[in-house]
Amino acid sequence: MSRARADEEEYWHSSKFRAFTFDDEDDELSQLKESKRAVNSLRDIVDDDDDDLERVSWSGEPVGSISWSIKETASSSTSSLEGRDSSLQKGSSSYAAFPKQVSSYSLSSLFKGEVPHIQYGQMLCLSLSALSDTGVKNYAPELRRPKAEYKDYSSDWSPKDTVRRMQRGKVCSLERFRSLQDKLVLLDEAVAGHDGNVITAVLIFLKRTLRREILFRELEVRQVALCHLIHFLKETGEQKLLLDLLRLCFFSLSLQLSQYREHLNIQDVEKRREFLKGCIGLPFSAEDTSHIQDHYTLLERQIIIEANDRHLETAGQSEIFRKYPRKASILNMPLVTTLFYSCFYHYTEAEGTFSSPTNLKKTFKIPDKQYVLTALAARAKLRAWDDVDALFTTKNWLGYTKKKAPIGFHRVVEILQRNNAPVQVLQEYVRLVEDVETRLNLATKYKCHDVVIETYRDLKDRIQLTAYKCKVERGSAEEEKINSILNNVVRNTN
């Protein structure tokens, strides 16, 4: 026990730093000497010439480390004593080995336990910056953001660039678009971008910065943006504004429709054509505007065809007009009627002429089913069976031909029968009906006996074949064909 106490006494007396005792002089000169002695002791530990050496505090923690900063900050909150001697600060300036980042800690405050009151976040930043001289920067350089990210949001972005940035999720200020023209260009660019979120964001900005009358007036000719605003108002529950908008849209649509309907009262064809041309500019929806454009183009095409055919009919230069005189004018007729007229009188014309059926099909984008139905009805009425056959004959890439009907061969049979097609023509197309039951019903209904007999033969249905024998005339070719099939079946069975 005495040896342990002796070792302890030897440890304290052998330390480089003199222990505190109450016998020390308390005057200013003794305190200054004590400070200088402490500084000289620190110089033995830390070399001023080498800044890379680790600096150690009294507690053994590296000066500038996170743990040292936390401890020093905690001690500052409990021991903030007022400094009594400003002369000690001169002694502290003689030691320049401490980093600049922690220059707020003087040696006098270090010895007296006086630490300025600093927030923990600031102390942590200062502590981390004290370690920046050790070469960590070389291994972990600062990752800088692209220069474009630092560009001011109020920069002179064009409407197109603004919409593109909004589509990528960038923050953009729309306040710089102050004139009505700029705002409308921004809205048009948003609609052209086909991004519903961007369109809605621009509409919210316009709703906030434009008067209601101006906004509604501009949206009348921008149907896509109008639909987005109506949906947005429904979602947000702004019923009053929504009702005003719908009331204006209904009134505007009614006004446009009544103006478009005026063409029915115009008897002169040229004046009606000019009136329809003016209706194209009305603020209809895109689909309705397309229909009005087609209406104008069709009437213009009918005027040209009517003038040419009237001349041919009057001059008697065309055989088809002599054989099948026209019963009515083609002017103001629907598109399907015009196509039937073209297939009836101008079926063989080249595609480059206005009266060519293929030209009409291409110009007005007529579907294949509608075109085949109309052309079949027109050529069947003329009993042009070769044209009917060519209408359904196709070739594959190997050169083989086969018949194909986009409307189904059962409908072809019905149209041919309605136009009094011969039995031989009917039977050819009844055979092409794929469904067996439908084929038998059509063959039985239109008395295509050969098709019925061949179908029962393929099905090897002796009972139905025998029953059908009673429905044909005695001694006819059909009865002989049935007997031949039945006798062959009996001989093959034996």
pLDDT tens readout for residues 468-486:
888 888 888 888 888 888 8
Contact 223, 236 (CB under 8 A): no
Query: Phi and psi of 471, rounded to 5°?
Result: -90, -10
Residues 253 and 278 in one domain: no
Q: What is the pLDDT of residue 54?
A: 46
Q: Are residues 244 and 309 in the same domain?
A: no
The answer on 280 and 200 residing in a single domain is no
CB atoms within 10 A of CB 128: 15
State the helix-helix crossing angle for 462-469 and 449-459, rounded to 10 degrees: 160
Structure tokens of 286?
A: 């895109």
pLDDT band at residue 417 using 50, 70 and 90 as cut-offs: very high
Average of per-residue pLDDT values in the chain: 75
Tokens of 253: 């649509």
pLDDT at 222: 84
Q: What is the DSSP letter of 394?
A: E
Structural element, H or E, at residue 403: strand 401-403
Please tell me whether residues 164 and 258 are part of one structural domain.
yes
Q: Do 310 and 324 fall within a single domain?
A: yes
Task: Please count the structural domains in the chain.
Answer: 4
| 38 within some domain | no
- Note the pLDDT tens digit of each residue in 294-353: 999 999 999 999 999 999 988 887 889 999 999 889 999 999 999 999 999 999 998 889
Is 227 a member of any domain?
A: yes
**Whether residues 270 and 362 fall in one domain:** yes
Asked, for residue 457, whether it belongs to a domain, the answer is yes
Q: Show the domain range for 390.
A: 382-446
Region 51-79: mean pLDDT is: 49
> What stretch of H or E contains 452?
helix 449-459
**Are residue 313 and residue 292 in the same domain, yes or no?**
yes
251 lies in the same domain as 172: yes
Is residue 27 in a domain? no
Q: Which of 219, 238, 262 is the last residue of a domain?
A: 262
- Asked if residue 49 belongs to a domain, the reply is no
203 lies in the same domain as 258: yes
- Examine the domain organization and report whether 465 and 434 are in the same domain: no
Q: Which of 262, 278, 302 is the last residue of a domain?
A: 262
Answer yes or no: do 400 and 485 share one domain: no
pLDDT of residue 432: 93
Burial group, residue 171, by CB count within 10 angstroms (0-12, 13-18, 19+): exposed
**Rg of the Cα atoms in the chain:** 50
Tokens at 339, concatenated: 């196509």
Report yes or no on 432 lying in a domain.
yes
Residue 485 has what pLDDT?
86
Q: Are residues 168 and 244 in the same domain?
A: yes
Position 105 in a domain: no
Query: Which domain-ending residue is among 243, 262, 281?
Result: 262
Q: Considering the domain boundaries, does residue 82 fall inside one?
A: no
* Cut 0.85: pTM above it: no
Residue 146's pLDDT is 53
